[in-house]
Copies of this chain bind each other. A is one copy, B any other.
């Protein structure tokens, strides 16, 4: 069965290669477009190169530390294996980011070019480019884990021992993902906020105007933050969740044998197959709403996955209850998509409330946005809670010891089985955003801009939806990971009534807020540097505003790169150091409380940040459509304030929290020897 999964992954890579081939064949547009493309490519490459250098140093140091810890516990050989798995995980995570960035840079321009003639063609290019990233990442995580599984088998380890040896792979992936998401997230939002503050607010020029010296940095940001960062993030998710589920499968070895351990990998393979069909089936007519086409592909994927889930679960686990548990996960993922839509689309009450609040000023806009964010936690928690309780109950009904926890693992697998398609939709967002930017900067006609705007709006929605999905799956995955941690640490109980555990739990929730605070401050600081530089350029050369001379884009890109890399270090290091310190000094039970309550706080804060950010964005769009005074009115200015506050919420802090929540899990698993 595992071989099937391995083969599907290889097929998926070939399929991704075909998509790349297809995309590369598309038209590259005007020379003006190509000039912008070159600038973006150069900036994005430069950032990734420097970022990966920093990350590599940290990963190697941590890899050595990891080996030493095992070696001092007298397990040098295992330590070597875990360290190698760690470095492999870190490498693959870097590679995922690179793939995401590589394909998005190359397809932005082709999407913009296609939009000159055909809306449908532009949509197909953007979605297929997203699919390259989604499918490659999921396939790579499968190949990495199944490959390691085969190697460890060949080295003589049993199926029961292997999952814990894989933990290093997950930890390496998480670590890189955290820094990639932090660095990329700070970069993209610092550039965005900085460009908007001077461009839109001070100089009064539109978004993506070529006169703005920070505009290229802004476009680079979409590629390194939303594409590279998110790529690493989702690679880490799929890897961590697979490993967590496999560890829980070990507990069911007496009932299910090796099948319980490898089931997560097999079902993930079939999910990959379903996503490929889904991507090919998503096609739009010229006059269609773009979301209709994307949704069609999503539902095809969901349908196929459900069928596959039934057969695989019956064949491998021999129990329909596990199929139902998986179904709970699939349904939960669909519910998350709808909840996010309700809170972030302007058709519904929440976004309208924010738009109306903009009429009375900046402050009421902010208050309304925050209250929408706070309120939406209820729907999220009810969904997560119901999914956990239902899948636990279903697993428990099988009568196996630890069956309940395995039920939640199967639900997580269900939820994540559509991950490749979701990731394709997610990457669709920044690609269309960039395509719009390229069209604007190259002076494309109004008709072309309308096409790219339509795609961009759809991309904003899919970005918000996938964030809701990512948060929901992170919640389930985190529960998996700490269940696995408890198993490994030999802890039966995490007693919150103990003062030590309570204090550690308090610290866990604190880490989430503290991390978010310094990350937001990092965005503010980096944006401040860009504002200074743009002001300097405008002042030094009056020809810039007149459009007679060309701004110095490269300096802005360079400043943003340096600032983002500098600012990502502190939150990243704290996020790794604090849980280790808690674990070393307060030991495993306290650390478990720390992780669990940290996870709870992280899930809620990420939900707030994602949805408030999305809602502010769309409240602004709603006003820009001509409602409540339209563009340029006082209400619009207030809405722009909300949108700007929402930017680091939804694109820096929120996604970093997804990663952080899972990093806590993989870190505690990988270093469990330190905490007992």
Q: Which residue of B lies closest to A574 (CB)?
A: B378
Give A656 Cβ to nearest chain B Cβ, in Å.
Answer: 13
Q: Is the CB of A375 within 8 A of B518?
A: yes
Q: Which residue of B lies closest to A501 (CB)?
A: B496
Asked if A494 lies at the interface with its beta carbon under 8 angstroms from chain B, I say: yes
Asked if A520 lies at the interface with its beta carbon under 8 angstroms from chain B, I say: yes
Q: Is the CB of A608 within 8 A of B513?
A: yes
Complex Cα gap A675–B463 (Å): 43
Complex Cα gap A495–B520 (Å): 34
Complex Cα gap A5–B153 (Å): 74
Chain B residues with Cβ under 8 A from A307's Cβ?
Answer: none
Instruction: Tell me whether chain A's interface is mostly helix, strand or loop, or mixed.
Output: helix
Q: Is the CB of B505 within 8 A of A367?
A: no
* Copies of this chain in its oligomeric complex: 2
Give A611 Cβ to nearest chain B Cβ, in Å.
Answer: 11
Asked if A468 lies at the interface with its beta carbon under 8 angstroms from chain B, I say: no
Asked if A99 lies at the interface with its beta carbon under 8 angstroms from chain B, I say: no
Asked if A523 lies at the interface with its beta carbon under 8 angstroms from chain B, I say: yes
Among A177-185, A271-279, A429-437, A592-600, the stretch that binds chain B is: A592-600
Docked complex: A490-526 residues within 8 A CB-CB of B: 491-497, 499-500, 502-503, 505-507, 509-510, 513-514, 516-518, 520-521, 523-524
Chain B residues with Cβ under 8 A from A596's Cβ?
Answer: 496-497, 502, 505
Give A344 Cβ to nearest chain B Cβ, in Å.
Answer: 15
Would A520 and B367 be within 8 Å (CB), given that A404-B499, A514-B378 are in contact? yes
Q: Is the CB of A193 within 8 A of B364?
A: yes
Query: What is the interface of chain A, defined by CB distance below 8 A to chain B?
Result: 193, 197, 201, 353, 357, 360-364, 366-368, 370-378, 380-381, 384-385, 388-389, 392, 404-405, 408, 479, 482-483, 486, 491-497, 499-500, 502-503, 505-507, 509-510, 513-514, 516-518, 520-521, 523-524, 527-528, 531, 592-593, 596-597, 600-601, 603-604, 608, 640-642, 644-645, 648
- 19 A-B residue pairs with CB within 8 Å: A197-B361, A197-B363, A361-B644, A363-B640, A363-B641, A363-B645, A364-B524, A364-B528, A366-B645, A367-B523, A367-B645, A374-B518, A381-B506, A482-B497, A495-B496, A497-B592, A506-B603, A597-B597, A601-B604
